[in-house]
A = this chain, B = another copy of it.
């Protein structure tokens, strides 16, 4: 381990047959690890023979390295003086000057604009991307534009109270940061920075299963009444998930588990894929050619973007019958199901109380299935087909939020809390902790202004009489109700 390598020596080991990489000054022989890397061999081969630290660091929480590599794979250290001088890659659009003062940014669009210039191309591509033609991503926001507000007059609107509760926990505002992955890709403050910003506003945070920091790091400086959820992508190797759950169970700040259901397999995020291809330094065998050889063509084997590589190991076989009981064995925390997109599934969830305590209506920010409905549609479907769901479960929504009016509209339709995903990451990318603060500040101010102008003082006071959803209602599902048969099937299985 004491051996010191010259960068030139390391550089020779850049093949599948002998693959070395430098991480944090140490040299690792990862030849044997190539085939078991959750993100695939290609992503490592791109960096074979080089210092991979800058690529590796922002997307791996501490501890992963030690988990995955055996001590003997570290074969020495690199002579730092021999490493090539870091030059900003050509495709990097990071500006030399920093962002403007956060308080000059007036809305979430402006924050996104600043972040787009501040973060590097890989982060931008990962955050901005959505599946296929990004239709659902765009529709997520447009559907809010189609809902009108109905302000009442002669209402005392001096006071305005955004406080709310989630699963019995008090929030300063009915807003949560959705479990978006890879925060350090955009800013070194990372997920802990998001937590710090949330603390000041009483906003909730759901920690991504693919966070670039450990849960322990993220909740370390939480205030006593700060509320966190933890997102679970159940792994094929259930032991890994069980080990994580054991760690989560020990963290008091984490109040519930969010089981992600809207992305059992990755969507096709072309911007992310494209960036990955452009960034390829060496000619990597492309997915399609391999596929042909193996006679099982499947793009999921291809060299993918950041998004796709995160799915490695995710279990696509979850079911009501198997997964919920398994989860009950490994945690006593309340369960929230994320990614419901039909009233049928919302109804099924309501049959699974008391273990299931809440549901998140979400199309994964338009990143899973393009053409999937926005959460507003699912809210309207539930109101139409099975409004009793709102009495049995807490319902949260995310996707497409850009204004306080959007938040208020979702609350009027029955949501208990409203999530922001990309918006929080753009805030982080624009200005770190201060950027997320500015994002929350703007949403808080806009929401309050909206409630005051509606003539409503508290979140509980909001309701459907304050909105006109006529246009959206003409777009939602209108098929026959199948709830009777769903209930019958459910009972038969008991």
Contacts and interface: CB of A to CB of B under 8 A. Distances in A.
A369 B201 CA distance: 23
B454 A151 contact: no
Interface string A96-111: 0000011110110000
B340 A153 contact: yes
A157 B316 CA distance: 6
A337 interface: yes
A294 to B, nearest CB: 12
A34 interface: no
A474 B158 CA distance: 35
Interface stretch (A45-53, A72-80, A341-349): A341-349
Nearest to A155: B319
A289 interface: yes
Q: In the complex this chain forms, how many copies of it are found?
A: 4
A153 B362 CA distance: 11
Nearest to A269: B106
A462 to B, nearest CB: 14
A457 to B, nearest CB: 11
Nearest to A110: B270
Interface string A28-62: 00000000000000000000000000000000000
Given A153-B345, A270-B107, A340-B153, A297 B445 contact: yes
A470 B465 contact: no
A153 B403 contact: no
A450 B341 contact: no
Contact of A342 (B133, B150, B156, B409): B150
Contacts of A112: none
Interface stretch (A16-24, A224-232, A475-483): A475-483
Given A464-B479, A478-B470, A449 B267 contact: yes
A401 interface: no
Contacts of A473: 478
A291 interface: yes
A317 interface: yes
A470 B465 CA distance: 23
A288 B102 CA distance: 9
Interface in A333-385: 337, 339-342, 344-345, 348, 363, 368-373, 377
Given A153-B341, A264-B157, A369 B299 contact: no
A292 interface: yes
A5 interface: no
Interface stretch (A141-149, A215-223, A387-395): A141-149
A266 B449 CA distance: 8
Interface string A66-103: 00000000000000000000000000000000000111
A306 to B, nearest CB: 15
21 contacts: A148-B371, A150-B342, A151-B368, A151-B372, A153-B340, A153-B341, A155-B264, A200-B292, A265-B453, A268-B445, A268-B446, A268-B449, A297-B445, A299-B445, A369-B450, A369-B453, A369-B454, A470-B474, A470-B475, A470-B477, A471-B474
Given A132-B405, A369-B454, 10 more contacts: A103-B302, A150-B372, A153-B337, A155-B264, A158-B316, A265-B449, A288-B438, A300-B449, A465-B479, A470-B474
Which 8 A/B pairs are nearest by Cβ-Cβ distance? A299-B445, A153-B261, A103-B286, A103-B288, A369-B453, A156-B317, A468-B477, A149-B371
